[in-house]
Amino acid sequence: MVSRADARPDRAPSRRAERRPLLAVLLTAAVVVAVGIVGGLLDRAGTDLHLLGGVVLRGGFTAVVTPGAVLPVVVGALGVAWAPRLAARLGWRALLAAAGAGAALWACALGLSGGLTRLTEPLASRYEYPYDVDRVGSLGGFLAGFTASVPADAADPWTTHVAGHPPGALLAFVLADRLGPGALAGGAALCIAVGASAVPAVLVAVRALADEATARGVAPFAVLAPTALVVATSADALFAGVAAWGMAALALAAAREPGPGADLRALTGGLLLGLALFLSFGLAALGLVALGVVLVQRDRLGGGGVLRLLAVGALGVVVVFGLFAAGGYAWFEGLAAAAERVRSGPSYADRPFAFFVFANLAAAAVVAGPAAVGGLAGVRRVPVAVLPLAALAGMLVSDLTGLVRGETERIWLPFTVWVVAATAFLPPASRRWWLAGSAVLAVVVEVFVRTEW
């Protein structure tokens, strides 16, 4: 039985425990470097890793120091100095709003360091969703005919990212185009806003599984995490935000006493998680986190309470599946077609599975940041630990499928936002140093690696 004192993630650590985070980061850094060396050897031997000259992240080392690089340095420094104080003093709702706004500001500051066009530039590629926006006419015809255009040898195939995802992803950009300032500007705004909102969603879930003090401690790390590097701008930020709020609703449901209020939250969580599955097939592995936030409350809810919440959440998912099926789109058929499209492409065939099993995790470690990696070294058997651990398990499942080979700095964003919750286990005395380390790493990657996002 865990005592009340031991249940707090930030309880006073022993001297040995204080050293574990640093050792974990040093070991992880060594693995990242080793992966980089092996990737460099493969590249020189003629293997095309399809990483634009990179060996861990997608993008080669090309320092671009512009006047704009001052912006993330200033924002990061102010964040390190003031975010912990604000997190401790703001009212809870004000903190959630500030965390979302701060995450968006940090993501934009990093993106704009490369120029004013950097926020929309990642979406302008012919491989991205806006490229196919003009092809979408009526909703019914679009859904019914979507899978037929997934194969690369189809008469009029979808572009790469559209073909690799369910139709909900493209639909989001269609809505941004028709309701906003266009597919590029509107799409970028949608990705950044929804992606940044994942931060308050994580805090809501942490509070539900631990307490408000723990969530306040995580807040600065969630805002300044290097995950912001792919929030401005990749569509995976949109996926992460939708899934995060679904998970937060489910965590809130499990934290309440059984009843209509809990059921409504569980249903909301299921609907959002169901929608997330129609944004990205890969989010199916987030089901481990969804199960975790409910099962961790089993002693309080009892077996019947757990089954009830899972059933209500599953009902929400089924409703979303039913709506898309009524429109003519079958999720499992679409998954099979997308998997075949991925396997038939050169970027899959050329990339060696054995290398990317490790390179995927190395890229994810970079964007999770040193504070998250250090926090994982201190994880203990308390309910909130389920968030980073279940997310890691989901990433491993995704990794071992072999369908994901590279670019996991963005593809796994819906998972790494939960890994950042491990910062709850960092030693209190060194937390500001860990916060600074995460911010510095984000700036270094943005300035010295020419990523696409």
pLDDT for 67 equals 84
What's the chain's average pLDDT?
94
Question: Following CA atoms 208, 213, 218, 219 in sequence, which dihedral angle do they give, to the nearest 10 degrees?
Answer: 90
pLDDT for 68 equals 86
User: One-letter amino acid identity for 443?
Assistant: V
Peptide bond preceding 451 in cis form (omega within 30 of 0): no
pLDDT for 378 equals 94
CA distances from 398 to 234, 254, 285, 357, 385 (A): 19, 26, 7, 10, 20
CA atoms within 13 A on the CB side of 415: 29
pLDDT for 62 equals 84
What digits encode the pLDDT tens for the residues 273-282?
999 999 999 9
What digits encode the pLDDT tens for the residues 98-156?
999 999 999 999 999 988 888 999 999 999 999 999 999 888 899 999 999 999 999 99
pLDDT for 2 equals 40
Token look-up 């060594």 returns: 30
pLDDT for 385 equals 98
Q: Residue 4: is its pLDDT beyond 50? A: no
Q: What is d(CA 98, CA 196) in angstroms, rounded to the nearest whole number?
A: 11
What digits encode the pLDDT tens for the residues 308-323?
999 999 999 999 999 9
Q: How many CB atoms lie within 10 A of CB 126?
A: 9
Q: Residue 5: is its pLDDT beyond 60? A: no
What digits encode the pLDDT tens for the residues 181-240?
888 999 999 999 999 999 999 999 999 999 999 999 999 999 999 999 999 999 999 999
The residue length of the chain stands at 453
Q: What is d(CA 358, CA 365) in angstroms, rounded to the nearest whole number?
A: 11
Q: What is d(CA 259, CA 245) in angstroms, rounded to the nearest whole number?
A: 21
Residues 6+ away with beta carbon under 8 Å from 4 = none
pLDDT for 3 equals 40
What digits encode the pLDDT tens for the residues 331-374?
999 999 999 999 998 889 999 999 999 999 999 999 999 999 99
| pTM, entire model | 0.95
What digits encode the pLDDT tens for the residues 382-403?
999 999 999 999 999 999 999 9
pLDDT-wise least confident of 4-18, 74-88, 104-118, 210-224? 4-18
Token look-up 């964007």 returns: 367
Q: Report how far apart the first and last C-alpha atoms of the chain are (Å, whole number).
A: 46
